[in-house]
Structures are given as structure tokens and as C-alpha cells.
Amino acid sequence: MQLHWTLKKFADLTSYELYDIIWLRNEVFVVEQNCVYQDADYKDLKGWHLMGRNEQGILAAYVRLLPPGVSYAEPSIGRVVTNPVARGKGMGRILMTEAMKQCELLFGKKNIKIGAQYYLLKFYSSLGFEQTSEIYLEDDIEHIEMIRNCEN
């Protein structure tokens, strides 16, 4: 699947782009995962938003890239989400590969830290991330912190 990538700071998002992001994050993180939580955390205002649209213009993949000092001392990738209509095509790997590339372009060759849902440990490990914390609960979902060293 070919995606058209767009990377924007929060202030540069159009109202339609913001709506697509909110819809996708809510569809997956709230409805699909049956998790009531406060998605709007003000970190969006400080971050970059990477959107991958398919040939039909549907937001198929999205991540939020945060500079050092917002969530962690390192740059971070979060709110990693793929549209249910785009799954089963390796979209998560494509999304994370693009996110890591954009992180390096934005913040330099630095370690990247993530707070990952624990069930995705193997996936993120395959991308060079290493577990750096014990399992913890966030919104009743098991999570771990992981770092990808810039040498990877």
C-alpha cells in the first residue's frame, strides 16, 4: 500500500486534518480498545503530527512525534495508530519506519523513547527498541517503556 506522508506542527494542521486525527485516535484507542481515557493531553500542541493517507485520501496511519523534554528526556513517538481498514498490510512497520526517519530529521540522531503497549513488545523489538522498564498499567492497559539507541 502506497501512502502519501504529511508532517505538520499542531498550529499548521487544518481543521479537517485535526478531525481525522481525533477520529482515528478515538476509533482505535477508545472504542476498539474499550478504554475511556483523556486523549487530549496538551502534548499535541508541542508535537509534530505524521499522517499517512492512502490513495483514497483516508488517514491510514498516524503518529505523534514529541521533542526531547515533553514526555521524556529523549525525543518520543506516541499515539501510534493504524486505521482498521488499512490493517494486515504491514502498515505498522511502514508507519514506524517513517516515524523514526522523521524523528531523526527533526531532532537529530538521538535515542528515541516510547511508552508501548506490552503486547507489542515483539513488534517494537523488531524495530530496534529495547525494553527499559517493568510493566506498568496506563489506563488499565499493560505498558512498558522502550528505547531505540541512535546507533540502530
Domain ranges of the chain: 4-148
* Top-tier CATH class for 4-148: alpha beta
- In angstroms and rounded to an integer, the radius of gyration of the C-alpha atoms of the chain is 15
Query: How far apart, in whole angstroms, are the C-alpha atoms of residue 112 and residue 92?
Result: 17
Write the single-letter amino acid at 147: I
The model's pTM is: 0.93
Model confidence over 50-96: pLDDT tens digits? 999 999 999 999 999 999 999 999 999 999 999 998 888 899 999 99
pLDDT-derived band at 6, boundaries 50, 70, 90: very high
Write the single-letter amino acid at 117: Q
